[in-house]
Structure 1
Amino acid sequence: MTTVTLTAESFADTVTAEGITLVDWWASWCGPCRQFAPIYETASAKHEDITFGSVNTEEEQQLAAQAQITSIPTLMVFRDGVLVFSQPGALPESGLEQVIQAVRDLDMDDVKRQIAEQEKPA
């Protein structure tokens, strides 16, 4: 699968969908972003069951602000609509593969139970 460009209009629908969605926040002037781009593209071709999204922070400044992006590149990973990973900085290929495997291995019933417990009034 190729990387899909996400905008303010498509972001919410994409990240709340069933399955795993990775989102790369980047800008064309960012050196580490340009370094990470081919790694991200390679992973998108390798993991066809995962949605790989990309947000250009220059074109989607309001969306980046809403997502509290303060450093790029930033990688966010959603699974079944839940944000399960967010980290600034370019990852090497092995690091990206580790994140993907960790997200695949998550027990989402347990994750959702933990979220529900945290949201309970004290």
Structure 2
Amino acid sequence: MATVTLTSQNFQETIEKNDLVFVDFWATWCGPCKAFGPIYDKASGSNKDIVFGKVDIDQNQELAAAADIQAVPTLMIAKQGQIIFKQAGALRASDLDDVIRQAREVKLDEGAKEPVNQ
């Protein structure tokens, strides 16, 4: 599956209506974002059960502020509507694969969340 462009209009619905959502907050001027982009896109093609979204922080400043994004790239993961992971910095492919594995394994209790540790 190709990555999905997320905006203020579809962000919340995407998080709430999908079991596992990865969100890459990025910017066109960001060197690490350019390096991480192809890794992220490749992972989206290999993990059809996960929604991979991208938020251009320059085009969606209010959304980036609401998500408290302080640096790009920042990877955020939501599982069953709950944020379980948020980390700034580009990941290597092997590290992203590990985060994907861990996110799949997270078990959520009623109203509780268990963060993914890297």
| TM-score, length of structure 1 as denominator length | 0.89
- Find the counterpart in structure 2 of residue 40 from structure 1: 40
In the TM superposition, what is the alpha-carbon distance from 1:108 to its structure 2 partner? Answer: 1.8
In the alignment of these two chains, the number of paired residues is 113
Q: Secondary structure of 1:53's match?
A: strand
**How far apart in 2 are the matches of 1:56 and 1:94?**
24
**How far apart in 2 are the matches of 1:113 and 1:20?**
16
- Find the counterpart in structure 1 of residue 57 from structure 2: 57
CA contact (8 A) 2:18 2:51 kept: no
**How far apart in 2 are the matches of 1:20 and 1:64?**
20
1:66 correspondence with 2:69: no
The aligned runs of 1:1-122 (5 Å cut-off) are 1-109=1-109, 112=110, 114=112
- Return the letter of the residue paired with 1:4: V
**How far apart in 2 are the matches of 1:54 and 1:12?**
13
Label 1:104 to 1:32 Cα distance change in 2 as closer, same or farther (>3 A): same
Identity %: 44
Label 1:114 to 1:75 Cα distance change in 2 as closer, same or farther (>3 A): same
In the TM superposition, what is the alpha-carbon distance from 1:106 to its structure 2 partner? Answer: 1.0
| TM-score, length of structure 2 as denominator length | 0.92
Instruction: Report the structure, 1 or 2, having the larger helix content.
Output: 1
Larger radius of gyration: 1
In the TM superposition, what is the alpha-carbon distance from 1:113 to its structure 2 partner? Answer: 5.2
**How far apart in 2 are the matches of 1:74 and 1:113?**
25
In the TM superposition, what is the alpha-carbon distance from 1:77 to its structure 2 partner? Answer: 0.4
Runs of 5+ unmatched residues, structure 1: 116-122
Please provide the CA RMSD for this pair: 1.0
